[in-house]
């Protein structure tokens, strides 16, 4: 007995429904792969949904780009996908993928900023890791408007000497605290810098600001001194002693005579500090003037910051490297010269 036309149409609809339902089941409920492979993809700002879907399909995160577009559109999530770097695995279901994109569950990277890094070194490190571009990072760290938004403009500018030939202009050098951070790729430089400055103030709190006032130095000078200690002393136990040397020199109106400050003022320093360098006038040549250089010379860590305001009780005025990371400390210039002859031979040190 032949089927009526109505029955044929109904049967066709039934087959179409079952076919579509099987496709939905295949797309929504069966992972793209039985093997769980991690895939990292970058969703660029402004990337169209079609391009995002094609990328997900290409990387094996979804089975079909058209189905994914349809699902996103049907659920009203077309404008909700957030840019960033994501880590997916190939056993995720499409709704899980979409949920991650809409919630902005972006992959975060642990980034350690070493103690004693300069702004330039930090910028290069972050660029190498694709966190932020070095140029934009340095521009933002030297922006008066941005520095003012952090409440630091007056604090920094009252000691700054600008120079067209040497470093020394208005920057956040010294205030980007070296620590381990959770960063994401292609961050805004403002976000990176704000986080690092926030960490700085967690260490350099009201108690240390008050301590600086009691010692007769400004918070800015304390940061500058901490940066010099950071560059001079690698051993934790020596930092308070190095601090004492500089405090003793300041009280006696003696130049700090710190090689790292001289080096900071030299553009394109090649690693060889010469007598000519020590005799060259820059704002950072602490052999030629008494007092602090105009800005910090790096971004100091916690130990150096604390040491700057808690010097050891000693009358040392000189120190010289023993070439093993430690130093010989002296109270008199005569004793210092003997130490220089012993440890440095031809190097004239403080």
CATH number of the structural domain spanning residue 88 = 3.30.1490.480
Model confidence band, residue 17 (pLDDT cutoffs 50, 70, 90): low
d(CA 40, CA 217): 50
Whether 297 contacts 264, CB under 8 Å: yes
- Do 215 and 185 lie in a common domain? no
- Is residue 145 a part of any domain in this protein? yes
Among residues 103, 126, 146, which one ends one of the domains? 103
Select from 340, 345, 109, 121 the least CA-distant residue to 230.
121
d(CA 80, CA 187): 19
**3 state SS of 319:** strand
- Do 266 and 330 lie in a common domain? yes
d(CA 174, CA 349): 25
Whether 329 contacts 241, CB under 8 Å: yes
What is the crossing angle of helices 49-58 and 65-74, to 10°? 140
Residue 1, pLDDT above cutoff 50: no
Q: Lowest-pLDDT range, 75-79, 241-245, 315-319?
A: 75-79
d(CA 348, CA 280): 16
Per-residue model confidence (pLDDT) at position 154: 77
Model confidence band, residue 108 (pLDDT cutoffs 50, 70, 90): very high
- Do 45 and 78 lie in a common domain? yes
- Is residue 10 a part of any domain in this protein? no
Instruction: Name the phi and psi angles at 40, rounded to 5.
Output: -105, 125
Whether 104 contacts 84, CB under 8 Å: yes
Mean pLDDT over 335-349 rounds to 77
d(CA 107, CA 110): 10
- Do 222 and 337 lie in a common domain? yes
Q: Is the pTM of this model over 0.75?
A: yes
- Do 240 and 143 lie in a common domain? no
Share in percent of the chain as helix, strand, coil (round to 5)? 50, 10, 45
- Do 194 and 208 lie in a common domain? no
Per-residue model confidence (pLDDT) at position 16: 56
- Is residue 1 a part of any domain in this protein? no
- Do 189 and 212 lie in a common domain? no
Residue 183 sits in which domain range? 110-202
Q: Lowest-pLDDT range, 162-171, 175-184, 222-231, 269-278?
A: 162-171
Residue 165, pLDDT above cutoff 50: no
- Is residue 212 a part of any domain in this protein? yes
332 or 33, greater pLDDT: 332
Among residues 202, 221, 240, which one ends one of the domains? 202
Mean pLDDT over 32-57 rounds to 89
- Is residue 350 a part of any domain in this protein? no
Residue 15, pLDDT above cutoff 70: no
Which DSSP category does 170 fall into? S
Q: Lowest-pLDDT range, 93-97, 140-144, 188-192, 332-336?
A: 93-97
- Do 180 and 219 lie in a common domain? no
- Do 289 and 268 lie in a common domain? yes
Residue 162, pLDDT above cutoff 60: no
User: How many distinct structural domains can be found in the chain?
Assistant: 3
- Is residue 54 a part of any domain in this protein? yes
- Do 186 and 222 lie in a common domain? no
Share of the chain above pLDDT 70, in %: 87
- Do 327 and 235 lie in a common domain? yes
- Is residue 9 a part of any domain in this protein? no
- Is residue 21 a part of any domain in this protein? no
Per-residue model confidence (pLDDT) at position 22: 55
Whether 245 contacts 307, CB under 8 Å: no
- CA–CA distances in Å: residue 298 to residues 95, 190, 285, 314, 340: 48, 19, 15, 26, 26
Per-residue model confidence (pLDDT) at position 309: 97
- Do 239 and 118 lie in a common domain? no
Q: Lowest-pLDDT range, 1-5, 88-92, 121-125, 334-338?
A: 1-5
Whether 73 contacts 148, CB under 8 Å: no
Among residues 72, 103, 134, which one ends one of the domains? 103
Per-residue model confidence (pLDDT) at position 153: 82
d(CA 43, CA 245): 53
Q: Are strands 84-89 and 109-112 parallel, antiparallel or unpaired?
A: unpaired
């Amino acid at each position: 007995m032949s089927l009526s036309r109505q029955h044929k149409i109904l049967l066709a609809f039934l087959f179409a429904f079952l076919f579509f339902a099987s496709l939905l089941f295949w797309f929504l409920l069966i992972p793209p792969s039985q093997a769980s492979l991690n895939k990292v993809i970058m969703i660029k700002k402004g990337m169209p949904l079609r391009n995002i879907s094609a990328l997900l399909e290409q990387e094996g995160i979804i089975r079909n780009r058209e189905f994914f577009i349809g699902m996103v559109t049907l659920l009203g999530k077309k404008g909700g996908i957030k840019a960033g770097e994501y880590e997916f695995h190939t056993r995720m279901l499409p709704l899980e993928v979409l949920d991650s994109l809409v919630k902005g569950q972006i992959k975060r990277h642990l980034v350690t900023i070493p103690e004693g890094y300069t702004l330039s070194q930090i910028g290069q490190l972050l660029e190498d890791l694709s966190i932020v571009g070095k140029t934009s990072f340095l521009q933002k760290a030297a922006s008066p408007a941005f520095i003012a938004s952090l409440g630091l403009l007056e604090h920094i500018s009252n000691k700054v000497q600008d120079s067209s030939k040497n470093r020394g202009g208005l920057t956040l050098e010294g205030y980007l605290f070296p620590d381990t951070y959770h960063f994401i790729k292609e961050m805004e430089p403002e976000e990176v810098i704000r986080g690092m400055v926030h960490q700085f103030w967690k260490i350099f709190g009201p108690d240390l600001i008050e301590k600086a006032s009691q010692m007769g130095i400004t918070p800015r000078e304390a940061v500058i001194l901490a940066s010099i200690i950071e560059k001079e002393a690698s051993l934790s136990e020596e930092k308070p002693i190095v601090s004492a040397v500089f405090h003793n020199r300041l009280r006696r109106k003696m130049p700090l005579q710190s090689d790292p400050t001289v080096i900071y003022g030299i553009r394109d320093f090649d690693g060889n500090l010469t007598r000519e360098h020590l005799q060259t006038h820059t704002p950072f040549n602490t052999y030629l003037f008494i007092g602090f250089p105009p800005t910090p010379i790096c971004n100091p860590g916690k130990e150096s910051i604390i040491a700057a305001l808690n010097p050891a009780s000693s009358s040392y005025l000189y120190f010289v490297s023993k070439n093993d990371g430690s130093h010989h400390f002296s109270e008199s210039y005569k004793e210092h010269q003997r130490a220089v002859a012993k440890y440095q031979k031809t190097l004239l040190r403080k």
